[in-house]
Chain A
Amino acid sequence: MLKAEGLSFRYTPNSGWVFQNITFELRPGEIVGLSGPSGCGKTTLGKVLAGYISPTKGRLSLDDRPLPRRGYCPVQLIFQHPELAINTRWRMSQVLEESFSPPLDLLRALGIENGWLKRWPHELSGGELQRFAVARALAPGTRYLIADEITTMLDAITQAQIWQVILEQARRRNLGVLVISHEAPLLERVCGRVIELKQ
Chain B
Amino acid sequence: MLAVRNLSISFRMYSAGLRQHEITPITGLDLEVRAGELVGIVGASGSGKSLLAHAILGILPANARTAGEIYFKETLLTPDRQKRLRGKEIALIPQSVGFLDPLMRVGQQVRRAAYLSGANGSAEAAQRQVFRRYGLRDEDAERYPFQVSGGMARRVLVSTAAVGQAALIIADEPTPGLHPAVVAETLGHLRQLADEGRAVLLITHDIGAALTVADRIAVFYAGTTVEVAPAADFQAGGQALRHPYTQALWRALPQNQFVPIAGSQPPPDQLPAGCLFAPRCPHVSAACRAARPELRLIRGGWVRCIHVEG
Contacts and interface: CB of A to CB of B under 8 A. Distances in A.
A30 interface: no
Interface in B175-206: 176-183, 205
Contacts of A149: 177
A178 B164 CA distance: 44
Interface stretch (A7-15, A47-55, A97-105, A155-163): A155-163
Contacts of A38: 149-151, 177-179, 182
A128 B177 contact: no
Nearest to A187: B254
A155 B264 contact: no
A114 interface: no
Nearest to A110: B264
Contacts, number: 90
B258 A160 contact: yes
B180 to A, nearest CB: 6
Interface residues of A, number: 31
A125 interface: yes
Contacts of A183: 254
B254 A39 contact: no
Contacts of B208: 185
A160 B179 CA distance: 21
Contact of B254 (A113, A158, A189): A189
A126 interface: yes
A159 B262 CA distance: 12
23 contacts: A38-B151, A39-B150, A111-B263, A111-B264, A125-B45, A127-B264, A149-B177, A153-B205, A155-B43, A155-B207, A155-B249, A157-B44, A157-B249, A157-B252, A157-B260, A157-B261, A159-B254, A160-B254, A161-B262, A163-B254, A164-B258, A184-B180, A185-B254
B255 interface: yes
A181 B150 CA distance: 16
Interface residues of B, number: 33
B262 to A, nearest CB: 7
Contact of A188 (B248, B254, B264): B254
Contacts of B46: 125, 127
A182 B178 contact: yes
B116 interface: no
A128 B264 contact: yes
B267 to A, nearest CB: 8
Interface in A89-135: 111, 113, 125-128
Contacts of A184: 180
A155 to B, nearest CB: 4
Nearest to B183: A182
A26 interface: no
Q: Residue among B176, B183, B250, B252 with the most chain A CB within 10 A? A: B252
A152 interface: yes
A141 interface: no
Contacts of B180: 182, 184
